[in-house]
Amino acid sequence: MDLAVAIIVTVVTAATPLLIAAIGELVVERSGVLNLGVEGMMVIGAVVAFATAQTTGDPYIGILGGIAAGAFLSLLFAVLTLTLVTNQVATGLALTLLGLGMSGAIGEGYVGIPGIKLQAIEIPLLSDIPFFGDILFKQDIIVYLSFALVAGVTWFLFRTRAGLTLRSVGDSQNSAHTLGIGVIRIRYLAVLFGGACAGLAGAQLSLAYTPQWVENMTAGRGWIALALVVFASWRPLRVIVGAYLFGAVTIGQLHAQALGFGIPSQFLSALPYLATMIVLVIISRDRRLTLVNTPASLGQPFVPDR
């Protein structure tokens, strides 16, 4: 029983950065913007969160630093793609490269330094429940925030006028503009939210998952988060399923290596990314489902009439 709890808790920790980054990118894409720079924003959030926590001695201030770093990088993306109307795909890829390079430079002096671990918050009484108490009610604040984000985004997108407006911008930018909706303003806000979520996801990696700084520690999680948005068909609740599925695959391959299965470790390490490709291939076969849920204006540049 203790081993099962330990494994599930580890899966929750591994899935949390994927869930947060994916839910942020889902909002961005719902507004009609495709930001491929999630990996870069996550890694810059991770190093800034770690450095801030080391400097201040407070991991919670480190979280705020990671969020701010991710939002700053997303603002740069927004200026380039929404104001200067650069290509969103090329700019997103450049943002990832920029984030990886900047994080290496910022984190050079922090390699090998023990981190300040974000401690779990035990909810009184509920944390004492056998089995479920350890899994659900003895987690760090970022895990709780991840569930709050999913609930909040679901409510915002499908239960509020502002969410309807954002979805209308993603589905038909020209029609939204004709109705007097500020397409660029809404997309700026969506991109900033996505960047803040990516920065928070990065902070979780360097403060909770593995409290240390290692160059390129995101290890492709930003790309998996992008795939999760497609996997979820742009639906927030489905992101949870995808994130925990990929989190389980990640942790499963680590346990398989530890148990000494006669499978090359390189193949086991590649399993999360192989699973990502298999899922995307399966989803792409159902073109009706993909077309129904994909924002019609996704990735399309918009220049308002002057």
pLDDT per residue as tens digits for the range 273-305: 777 778 777 776 766 666 667 899 999 999 887
Give mean pLDDT, residues 126-146.
Answer: 87
Residue 152: pLDDT band with limits 50, 70, 90:
very high
Residue 80 resides in a domain: yes
Residue 206 resides in a domain: yes
Least confident among 78-82, 199-203, 238-242: 238-242
Compare 275 and 58 and report the one with higher pLDDT: 58
Whether the predicted pLDDT of 306 surpasses 60: no
Which residues on adjacent β-strands are paired with residue 139?
121
Q: What is the pTM of this model?
A: 0.92
Whether the predicted pLDDT of 1 surpasses 80: no
Whether the predicted pLDDT of 139 surpasses 70: yes
Whether the predicted pLDDT of 175 surpasses 70: yes
pLDDT for position 268: 65
Listed in sequence order, the residues at least 6 apart from 199 whose beta carbon sits closer than 8 Å to its beta carbon are 41, 42, 44, 45, 48, 49, 66, 67, 68, 69, 70, 71, 73
pLDDT for position 131: 80
Report the chain's C-alpha Rg in angstroms: 19
Distance, in Å, from the CA atom of 122 to the CA atom of 272, rounded to the nearest integer, reads 31
Instruction: Output the CA–CA distances (angstroms, integers) from residue 154 to 54, 164, 243, 280, in the order listed.
Output: 35, 11, 16, 23
pLDDT for position 6: 81
Whether the predicted pLDDT of 252 surpasses 80: no
Instruction: Output the CA–CA distances (angstroms, integers) from residue 281 to 39, 223, 232, 235, in the order listed.
Output: 22, 15, 14, 18
Give mean pLDDT, residues 91-114.
Answer: 94
Whether the predicted pLDDT of 258 surpasses 70: no
Residue 177 resides in a domain: yes
pLDDT for position 290: 65
Residue 305 resides in a domain: no
Whether the predicted pLDDT of 187 surpasses 60: yes
Whether the predicted pLDDT of 7 surpasses 90: no
Residue 265's CATH number: 1.10.3470
pLDDT for position 5: 82
Compare 136 and 286 and report the one with higher pLDDT: 136
- The dihedral region occupied by 119, where left means phi > 0, alpha psi between -120 and 50, and beta the remainder, is beta
Residue 78 resides in a domain: yes
Looking at every residue in the chain, the average pLDDT score rounds to 89
pLDDT for position 273: 75
Whether the predicted pLDDT of 200 surpasses 90: yes
Residue 41 resides in a domain: yes
Compare 164 and 279 and report the one with higher pLDDT: 164
pLDDT for position 231: 85
Whether the predicted pLDDT of 174 surpasses 60: yes
Residue 168 resides in a domain: yes
Give mean pLDDT, residues 111-134.
Answer: 86
Whether the predicted pLDDT of 117 surpasses 60: yes
Domain that holds residue 52: 2-293
What is the token pair recorded at 7?
């494994």
Express as a percent the part of the chain with pLDDT over 90.
64
pLDDT for position 95: 96
Number of domains forming the structure of the chain: 1
pLDDT for position 265: 63
Residue 67 resides in a domain: yes
Give mean pLDDT, residues 40-51.
Answer: 97
Residue 188: pLDDT band with limits 50, 70, 90:
very high
